[in-house]
């Protein structure tokens, strides 16, 4: 009786931690540790500061409580020794050759954490309806915060602060905003560090849920509508384009006799896209992206074999003179160039090879295709899948969900 009671308790704790982790994925409640290496020319850089988030704490607890499952998995799925040796050698090179080894080591730890989260997700059967409910509750929270941002022009604070919302307003330097008929409007941030990050996060969830063959009643469609509204309030043009293309392709693949249904599925995203593309954002956005891309190519050319080191990209970027009257120091807005610049061409090619072998057996599934489409489309124009906590963890969570035993057809 005691053993059974303990087993039930452990199972309940596992579910509670996992569901809490999924609900808190969009949040960024945490603390940064600003060290001397976190400054460039006296400017404090968040990207260069190790951080501890609430989701990190829950992830560590999940790893501890699932430790026996990991050992069992490793026994059943022994990896070829040459793969482990190459990756280990690559990470050692990262630490030994980079400008700031501590930042590289921190990034490697984050990679290990995310990988363990992926293993947990892929081995736990989460009912699709439960998953939809968790994502929906979390998305509605983000929608209420983002709506407040757009309508009032400043942050909520109060309870939203404990979800990681930052304090800002329309007058905050560098804040993301758009002009609609000459009127400045604050873009919806939710609890993300930038509206584009929020848009990419919910575009990935939108694709994953839309193309799922599983049903969750009306709540599935409520979640799809909520994620669409969040993307609209972010005013992210790339994400809106993604919604339009995903919806159009889904409608074509699932043609119905209902002409009104077909028209609504295409017309609604199209009207939203026209509205968003008619707004005016940063007039120098394209110029900045081109400059960052040119800088990344120069960095790759000068560090082709080992890269500049995981998390060390901004130290290399800072060597280039800024062609603006203000400080502009960001990673290149392209996850592929950023990866190559940080880890070098050989290691990037090897990881790409491993990923291609992993994904090959899943490519038959439209849900996997939609997921890859979102990552490639948004990854070509931004860096948040690699640099920001919420987006990075979501990628591993989604791939874990795509790998669950209920999903994969063997």
Residue corresponding to tokens 């072998």 = 357
Helices and strands per DSSP (H, E), number in the chain: 17, 6
Same-domain check for residues 94 and 132? no
State the pLDDT at residue 408. Answer: 43
Same-domain check for residues 80 and 154? no
How many domains are contained in the chain?
Answer: 2
Q: Is residue 404 part of a domain?
A: no
Residue that wins the pLDDT comparison between 55 and 324: 55
What is the per-residue pLDDT across 125-173, written as a single tens digit (0 to 9) for each? 899 999 999 999 999 999 999 999 999 999 999 999 999 999 999 999 8
Same-domain check for residues 276 and 147? yes
DSSP summary character for residue 216 = B
Q: How far apart are CA 258 and CA 35, in angstroms?
A: 60
State the pLDDT at residue 289. Answer: 92
| Domain edge (last residue) among 345, 360, 375 | 360
User: Which pTM does this prediction carry?
Assistant: 0.93
Q: Taking a C-beta distance cutoff of 8 angstroms, is the pair 170, 154 a contact?
A: yes
Q: Taking a C-beta distance cutoff of 8 angstroms, is the pair 80, 354 a contact?
A: no
Q: Which domain holds residue 117?
A: 15-124+285-360
| Domain edge (last residue) among 239, 261, 281 | 281
Same-domain check for residues 191 and 308? no
CA torsion, ordered 136, 137, 138, 143, to nearest 10 deg: 80
Q: How far apart are CA 238 and CA 231, in angstroms?
A: 10
What is the per-residue pLDDT across 65-92, written as a single tens digit (0 to 9) for each? 998 888 887 777 777 778 878 888 998 9
Q: Is residue 384 part of a domain?
A: no
Q: Is residue 220 part of a domain?
A: yes
Q: Is residue 24 part of a domain?
A: yes
Same-domain check for residues 298 and 333? yes
Q: Is residue 201 part of a domain?
A: yes
Residue 5, pLDDT > 60, answer: no
Q: What angle do CA 372, 201, 371 make, to 5 degrees?
A: 15
H-type alpha helices, 345-388: 345-360, 366-379, 384-387
Same-domain check for residues 259 and 152? yes
Same-domain check for residues 132 and 276? yes
What is the per-residue pLDDT across 251-284, written as a single tens digit (0 to 9) for each? 888 766 556 566 666 666 667 677 677 777 676 7
| Domain edge (last residue) among 360, 382, 399 | 360
Same-domain check for residues 332 and 225? no
Give the three-state DSSP class for 347. Answer: helix
Phi, psi of 33 (to 5 degrees): -110, 95
Residue corresponding to tokens 């160039």 = 337
Same-domain check for residues 138 and 217? yes
Q: Is residue 379 part of a domain?
A: no
Residue that wins the pLDDT comparison between 80 and 227: 227
DSSP summary character for residue 80 = P
**DSSP per residue, 126-169:** --HHHHHHHHHHHHHHHHHHHHHHHHHSB---GGGGGGTPPP-B
H-type alpha helices, 153-303: 195-210, 218-234, 237-253, 259-277, 285-302
Q: Taking a C-beta distance cutoff of 8 angstroms, is the pair 165, 157 a contact?
A: yes
Q: How many other C-beta atoms are found inside a 10 Å radius of the C-beta of residue 67?
A: 11
Q: How far apart are CA 77 and CA 74, in angstroms?
A: 5
In percent, the amount of the chain with pLDDT more than 90 equals: 69
State the pLDDT at residue 261. Answer: 60
Q: Is residue 64 part of a domain?
A: yes
pLDDT band of 358, cuts 50, 70, 90: confident
Same-domain check for residues 93 and 132? no
Q: Taking a C-beta distance cutoff of 8 angstroms, is the pair 69, 123 a contact?
A: yes
Residue corresponding to tokens 């081109």 = 290
DSSP summary character for residue 38 = G
Same-domain check for residues 42 and 168? no
Same-domain check for residues 337 and 203? no
Q: Is residue 383 part of a domain?
A: no
* Mean pLDDT across 209-220: 92
């Amino acid at each position: 009786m005691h053993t059974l009671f303990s087993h039930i308790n452990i199972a309940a704790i596992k579910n509670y931690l996992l569901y809490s982790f999924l609900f808190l994925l969009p949040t960024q409640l945490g603390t940064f540790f600003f060290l001397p290496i976190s400054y460039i020319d006296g400017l404090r850089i968040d990207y260069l500061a190790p951080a501890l988030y609430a989701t990190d704490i829950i992830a560590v607890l999940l790893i501890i409580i699932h430790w026996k499952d990991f050992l069992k998995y490793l026994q059943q799925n022994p990896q070829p020794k040459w793969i482990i040796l190459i990756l280990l050698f690559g990470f050692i090179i990262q630490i030994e050759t980079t400008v700031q080894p501590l930042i590289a080591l921190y990034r490697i730890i984050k990679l290990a954490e995310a990988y363990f989260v992926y293993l947990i997700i892929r081995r736990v059967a989460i009912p699709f309806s439960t998953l939809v409910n968790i994502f929906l509750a979390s998305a509605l929270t983000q929608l209420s915060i983002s709506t407040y941002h757009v309508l009032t022009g400043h942050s909520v604070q109060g309870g939203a602060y404990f979800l990681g919302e930052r304090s800002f307003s329309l007058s905050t330097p560098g804040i993301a905003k758009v002009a609609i008929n000459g009127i400045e409007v604050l873009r919806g941030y939710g609890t993300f560090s930038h509206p584009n990050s929020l848009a990419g996060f919910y575009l990935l969830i939108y694709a994953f849920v839309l193309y799922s063959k599983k049903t969750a009643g009306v709540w599935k469609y409520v979640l799809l509508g909520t994620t669409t509204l969040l993307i609209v309030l972010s005013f992210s043009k790339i994400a809106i384009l993604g919604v339009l293309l995903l919806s159009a392709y889904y409608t074509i693949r699932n043609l119905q006799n209902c002409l009104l249904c077909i028209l609504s599925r295409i017309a609604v995203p199209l009207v939203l896209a026209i509205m968003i593309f008619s707004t005016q954002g940063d007039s120098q956005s394209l110029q900045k992206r081109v400059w960052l891309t040119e800088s990344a190519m120069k960095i790759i050319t000068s560090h082709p074999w080992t890269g500049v080191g995981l998390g060390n990209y901004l130290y290399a970027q800072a060597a280039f003179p800024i062609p603006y009257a203000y400080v502009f120091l960001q990673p290149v807005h392209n996850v592929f160039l950023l990866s190559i610049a940080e880890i070098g061409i050989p290691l990037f090619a090897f990881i790409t090879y491993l990923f291609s072998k992993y994904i090959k057996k899943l490519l038959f599934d439209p849900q996997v295709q939609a997921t890859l489409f979102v990552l490639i489309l948004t990854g070509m124009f931004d860096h948040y899948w690699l640099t920001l906590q919420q987006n990075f963890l979501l990628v591993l969570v989604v791939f874990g969900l795509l790998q669950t035993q209920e999903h994969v057809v063997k």
